[in-house]
A and B are shown apart, each in its own frame.
Chain A
């Protein structure tokens, strides 16, 4: 199960539903003024206000327009643009270009082409600099100056160099488009400075313009700005000295205030408005994003091409003729796509998927648009629309003009090939990754603020560790609890500033898979920079910005299970299991020919799902025996139901009760039955909530979409969902529903909050669940081997995968230099796995492959020395292999193999050196006289070198002692007659994992493993605190508690924990980093 996403602390203005209202009244009758030099917090660690705050403040102050000019960046302009539109303010796009000479020029585009030049300029500067920097010379700017208005910022000390610079720029921009910035900064010589600038303006013919060099929207942000300065310089506030501003004047000021400061220069104030008016000729809304035209056969339009491909696909999919329902859906969707001109987008996804298929890369689409009939017919997804009724409108919304959303999952090891294909096909100018704005969260913010405020490292640590746990309001008691004084003014400052800093962007990173592709050059729309990763380029806008700008992106994500499935299919082909056409099996083959296999569902219902996709976690496994999936749609539900959304919305238990037949399934109206029938009357998916709103409360599809968006954000901005909620309830009452039912529906919808799972995603995931379960049931060896070969992924370590395979009758053979490859392989009839050398810790892939090659060409090796000479690998690699006990076929155990390897020397010439006779005797003598090693120690050494042991389980060595102390085995624990509920028991085992999920209010889950299986512990918070040391440190644990049973799910509710690490170390002296 993927990690729960931490809610974004500050929603994008486009999603925030601000209703365009201002909190404060607008100050009217002010001198007309526009603050043109505004630095937002997208100039990282400098600006101390969000773009939205700056725009709103400018509106309140009655400025003629608002503007943002971040340093070498346009990352904040979309947010500012959107909130300006919401608040009814005009917005000026600007940018502060800081040149290599450290002189700064503010520029404002006056047309679409000038904006494109600005983007290109920034792209140029960023692409040739390391990530996060921008290298530009004057001539770069001059060459792209057409249509840009510029304001030059004079340096502190104005020298001859600056005069030359100014005159040079005047040549490019002429006096009409160029201005000289003048600021009254309360520095003690402001009037001198202004007089000096005025004479400079007169002398050079470049007129003066007033700015206040704003860093924040109100003076209250001064402290935060000081702290940001400290963070930027890596110093404390005490050390910062003159790097800080001396006052709080760098905020947005009202026009009258500016007029007073520039009383002698009214023209300079007026010029701000002139510049803004000219710059306002350009507006971000003028950007026309165009999706790249698809390559179509000559003479054919994209729409016709898509239609042709879709119908052809439909014929392939449905050998017995296209069902009416699907045909109808196809026609409807194709018409809608054509109307909204999204053909090219679908064709692009089709193209990417076809590319992946041609390279044998498994992939699968998901998302609402992906689960359309069109996508099914194009082969983008395997979810048959004939079996689902999905809302196509959800993702293609006619009125709002929202772009469709298709996520495509690829094998995680090969996703890069797909990305590079896209870069290659469209070029760096037309394709780039979406940015992800990494923001300060409580923990990171308090760390930086605490450090800047000079708190000792351990206080900062304690605060950081506890802040998330406290939620948004750290109370005095809680601070006292961790040993800090809540009344200490520094602590209070730290907390207050942390609160302000949370949600500030910290840096731009790349989005996991979002690719933006354009018809024209992308760098005309947005600056592109280098990513931290080689061969990647990223735009400056994140996915919300892109959505707001109406740009399309394709999400190309990596998924480990696809890698595993492909590898299993390939292995099966090697042992003669192939698809119906004789080729390698495909997901489609399994879904068409092997669907609804009762044995597979029986296995799932037993929660026998170690290693399969999605339903392998402990929470899922405890749900499976209650849900007892019997058909594919049950899997869709299973995937969606064990999520925080449904759990917190209280939908899980009603659903289970209805499914178990304890509670009757009833619907108030037949149309509701149609919506909720498949989930027994309980809304489990976002789509159902929307459909319900449409059929029962008379929402339009677009209102339903608004409801969905507000569901995603109600915890942050609560009012929108209540507005929709009222509308929902009113609508249902008007349509004759009972109030109770209406309220109940609304409560359930609210429950989705952040983590509701759309049916369209669940359906695509369920396919992989089914395929992986089918593999596990019918081909356990291939499945386990593929799973190990795809590590790291999933929930389980190779040790558990291997053990599970053994439980399913698979023979596992140990790693051996003469038999193993790098990867695990199938041997014999296909039900035997030979573990691969990839599991040997510290062994390089190249060495493993060199050995396999040497064995393939020379046959089996009889001695360590001959292997060393023939394969050419180093003694370090040999030692790794020896520690992994991989010389069994030479009759050498770990100890003896190491004894043989020890005298070998890499540096000498192996071919000419002979081991002299006396040493051979000594070696032989040594072999006999090596001390014998206890079996338990050998097992622990296996664990340390390979992560598992095929010899025995470590716990088996202390079983007698454990039995004396009353501990039973995991197998006995599962046996209901032996261990009825409420009985007190003791169990012991290796600690496999410790979890403390956020949803479980401090309960810790520990999984123990012994030689018979696993035992699940539940430990309440106070018990865990009492046995903290054991709970956190013990690797071998003895737990005392009572049995809890729910069907076949067994837990031990722990009262007491003991560490029994010492039992094993008594057996073996070395337990060096085993595990």
Chain B
């Protein structure tokens, strides 16, 4: 069976938007969607939704041209999304896994042409018709299931891969079946492109007027290879069943999980803990085998006569360390409600990421070390986050800005920050909010003589010339130009004072501690 997904990338995006991620689910109905990529310094449509197609948009069109086809009131709402072949492929892989419900042997249909993305599935249905109570019903069920997923699919069942492929893509009906021995008649009227030939060959054939497979079959076989290469006869024979062809099936990868079922319900925390440690070890083994680490792990306690209890932990970095996971889960388990007893435990890694192999070196080169990459720190962060909430730990990274309050950012992810350029000397301690102070200076922009801060007068013994910082005008926040002065007071302490130019008010914004 061949399944062709004529607008996979669009369907995938709509499915995602329905799941209500960042996208607005209602958008699907209201806004036309174009998937675009940069080609030769211009934006080109690589796929478009049915609505855009109705106004005449086609893949390969320049975005500018495509936009012009919409009515002016509609043109503004056209939604452009970037071409993400990688995401399409990953999602297609998931779909292929899902399709295992129809057949144990499922393959992703990889196109022969370079640069084209896979947009179909191949299913070996040998013996499956019986399960579905006949071929006709099987077609109907499969079509209906794809329909429920809201994925457009053209489906064909045929004795050979080639003929099924051809019928799915070029047959007149969205689903069709070819009886054994019938493939020749079925594919004869189809265009040459149905033979999965390189584009060059197809064009070469059409140049001499060969448009359909039947016209090709009329030509003397021996004259073909010299003119169009060996592929022509091979693909023809494959479609007709004269040559063998196999598919390269994918295997579904279930979520890494481990489970233990008790003989009967137990509320003995020790045995439950023991069981959880056991399944975590098992899970860690699965993860290591796949060379991945878990970012999210769920522990499910199957309770008798009650709905299962879920305990979830998240990790700052992917982990396959059972001990670490256990340390994070344990406090949660202590507070879990066991009900009338637990019948079994299950752990499942809900989100996994590849673990990058880090070479363990004898001498640790601290300069190369990203902050937070060592195990102890990670363990600490994970513990704090899982106990106090995910917002409890944040990571400060440098940003390039002249303004001191914008020269850093707090973020949740433990990202390594690129070494940002630092502007002039900045105080070692910066106040969250500048504190208004009183200052005596002889001239408005001259050196500072006295400062009143912390309810005390300080005589300034040294004052540098001002550093003028203007507001970042593109931030649209009201703010003024400030002159910053590094001043030293009698005690020897250096303060960082600022004068707002427009208001002539003084502040202290930091100190060198």
Pick from B220, B473, B484: contact of A925, CB below 8 A. B220
The listed residue (B71, B215, B481) touching A1025 by CB distance below 8 A is B71
Q: Does A5 contact B (CB under 8 A)?
A: no
When distances are taken between beta carbons in the complex, the residues of chain B under 8 Å from A490 are 474, 476
A1060 CA / B308 CA spacing, docked (Å)? 64
B429 within 8 A of A: no
Chain-A contact segment, one of B322-330, B351-359, B463-471? B463-471
B464 partner, pick from A192, A226, A462, beta carbons under 8 A: A192
Judge whether A883 and B402 touch: CB under 8 Å: no
List which A892-933 residues lie within 8 A (CB) of chain B: 894-896, 898-899, 902-903, 918-919, 922-923, 925-926, 929-933
**With A186-B466, A188-B425, A930-B209 already in contact, 17 other A-B pairs whose C-beta atoms are closer than 8 Å:** A186-B467, A188-B467, A192-B465, A240-B400, A242-B401, A242-B423, A246-B467, A247-B481, A461-B43, A461-B67, A484-B76, A490-B476, A493-B474, A895-B209, A918-B222, A922-B220, A1070-B206
- Over the window 538-581 of chain A, the binary record of Cβ atoms lying under 8 Å from chain B Cβ atoms (1 yes, 0 no) is 00000000000000000000000000000000000000000000
Question: Cβ of A222 < 8 Å from any Cβ of B?
Answer: yes
Interface string of A227-258 (1 = CB under 8 A from B): 00000000001111111101111000000000
- Interface digits, B62-74 against A, CB 8 Å rule (1 contact, 0 not)? 0111011111110
Pair B208/A930 contact, Cβ less than 8 Å: yes
Chain A positions 176 through 208: 1 when the CB is less than 8 Å from some CB of chain B, otherwise 0: 000000001011111110000000000000000
Decide yes or no whether B368 CB sits under 8 A from chain A.
no
Q: A314 interface residue, CB < 8 Å from B?
A: no
Q: Are B208 and A899 in contact (CB under 8 A)?
A: yes
Is there contact, CB below 8 Å, between A248 and B470?
yes
A534 at the binding interface (Cβ < 8 Å) = no
Of the candidate stretches A413-421, A820-828, A1012-1020, A1026-1034, the one touching chain B is A1026-1034
B117 at the interface (CB under 8 A from A): no
- B420 within 8 Å of A (CB atoms): yes
Judge if B219 is at the interface, Cβ distance under 8 Å: yes
B256 at the binding interface (Cβ < 8 Å): no
Q: Which of B131-139, B223-231, B234-242, B386-394 contacts A (4 or more CB under 8 A)?
A: B223-231
Q: State A926–B218 Cα separation when bound (angstroms).
A: 9
Is there contact, CB below 8 Å, between B69 and A1033? yes
State whether the Cβ of A1069 lies closer than 8 Å to any Cβ in chain B.
Answer: yes
In the complex, are the beta carbons of B222 and A883 less than 8 A apart?
Answer: no
Q: B222 → chain A, closest Cβ, in Å?
A: 5
Q: Are A188 and B424 interface neighbours, CB within 8 A?
A: yes
Q: Which residues of chain B (64-102) have a CB below 8 Å from chain A? A: 64-65, 67-73, 75-78, 80
For residue B14, give the distance in angstroms from its CB to the closest CB of chain A: 19
With an 8 A cutoff between CB atoms, is A483 at the interface? yes
Chain A residues in 8 Å Cβ range of B273:
none
| Also in contact, A926 and B223, with CB within 8 A (given A192-B464, A895-B208, A898-B208) | yes
Once the chains bind, are B68 and A1032 in contact (CB under 8 Å)? yes
A461 with B191, Cβ < 8 A, contacts A922-B222, A923-B223, A1028-B69 known? no
Q: Which of A1018-1067 contact B (CB under 8 A)?
A: 1025, 1028-1029, 1032-1033
Q: Is B222 a contact partner of A465 (Cβ separation < 8 A)? A: no
Contact: B218 with A931, CB < 8 Å?
yes
Considering only CB atoms, which chain A residue lies closest to B424 in the complex?
A188
**Would you give the shortest CB distance from B473 to chain A, in whole angstroms?**
5
B301 at the interface (CB under 8 A from A): no
Please give, as numbers and ranges, the residues of chain A lying within 8 Å of B56 by CB-CB distance: 1029, 1032-1033
Q: Is A516 an interface residue (CB 8 A)?
A: no
Chain A residues with Cβ below 8 Å from B259 are none
Q: How far is the CB of A20 from chain B (nearest CB, A)?
A: 35
Residue of A nearest to B445 (CB): A260
The answer to whether B481 touches A248 (Cβ under 8 A) is yes
A457 on the interface (CB 8 Å rule)? yes
Q: Report yes or no: B43 in contact with A457, Cβ–Cβ below 8 A.
A: yes
Is A223 on the interface with B (CB-CB < 8 A)? yes
Contacts of B481 in A (CB 8 A): 247-248
By a CB distance below 8 angstroms, the chain A residues around B198 are: none
Listed by A's residue number, 23 A-B pairs whose Cβ atoms lie within 8 Å are A186-B483, A188-B425, A188-B486, A189-B465, A222-B470, A240-B400, A241-B401, A242-B402, A457-B43, A458-B63, A461-B43, A482-B75, A493-B473, A493-B474, A883-B207, A902-B226, A903-B227, A922-B223, A931-B211, A932-B209, A1028-B71, A1029-B56, A1072-B206
A1028 cross-chain contacts in B, Cβ below 8 A: 55, 68-71
Asked if B399 CB lies within 8 Å of chain A CBs, one says: yes
> Which A-chain residue is minimally distant from B221 (CB atoms)?
A922
User: Which A residues are CB-close (under 8 A) to B78?
Assistant: 458
| B147 interfacial by beta-carbon distance below 8 Å | no
Given contacts A186-B467, A188-B425, A189-B464, contact A1029 B69 (CB under 8 A): yes
Give complex CA distance A248, B484 in Å.
15
Known contacts A246-B423, A902-B226; A186 and B208 CB within 8 A of each other: no
CB distance from B417 to the nearest CB of A (A): 13
Interface size on A (CB < 8 Å)?
66
Residues of B within 8 A of A962 (CB): none
User: Which residues on the B side are within 8 Å of A1070 (C-beta)?
Assistant: 206, 211
Q: Are B402 and A461 in contact (CB under 8 A)?
A: no
Q: Are A246 and B469 in contact (CB under 8 A)?
A: yes
Contact among A240, A493, A931 for B215, CB-based, below 8 A:
A931
Say yes or no: is A453 at the interface (Cβ < 8 Å to chain B).
Answer: yes
A918 to B222, CA, bound (A): 9
Q: Does any Cβ of B come within 8 Å of A489's Cβ? A: yes
Select which of B64, B73, B207 is within 8 A of A461 by beta carbon: B64
B179 to chain A, nearest CB (A): 27
Interface residues of B in 178-221 (CB under 8 A from A): 191, 204, 206-211, 215, 218-220
A895 partner residues in chain B, CB cutoff 8 A: 207-209
Interface presence of A28 (CB below 8 A): no
With A899-B227, A925-B220, A1028-B71 as given contacts, are A241 and B420 in contact (CB-CB < 8 Å)?
yes
Q: Is A143 an interface residue (CB 8 A)?
A: no
Instruction: Enumerate chain A residues within 8 angstroms of B253, measured Cβ to Cβ.
Output: none
A895 to B69, CA, bound (A): 37
B421/A241 in contact, CB under 8 A: yes
Counting CB contacts under 8 A, is A481 at the interface? yes
Tell whether, in the assembled complex, residue A247 and residue B67 are in contact, meaning their CB atoms are under 8 Å apart. no
Question: Which residue among A223, A241, A456, A461 has the maximum number of chain B CB atoms within 10 Å of its CB?
Answer: A241
In the assembled complex, the Cα of A223 lies from the Cα of B67 at a distance in Å of 32
A716, B56: Cα distance in complex, Å = 41
- Given A188-B424, A931-B215, A1069-B191, A465 and B466 contact (CB-CB distance below 8 Å): no
- Nearest-neighbour CB distance to chain A for B421, whole angstroms, equals 5
Given contacts A237-B474, A248-B470, A1029-B55, contact A188 B465 (CB under 8 A): yes
User: Is the pair A190, B465 in contact by a Cβ cutoff of 8 Å?
Assistant: yes
Cβ B80 vs Cβ A458 within 8 A = yes
- Please report the C-alpha to C-alpha distance between residue A882 and residue B227 in the assembled complex, in whole angstroms: 15
Given A458-B63, A895-B207, residue A482 in contact with residue B76 (CB < 8 A): yes
**Which residue from chain B places its CB closest to the CB of A492 in the assembled complex?**
B476
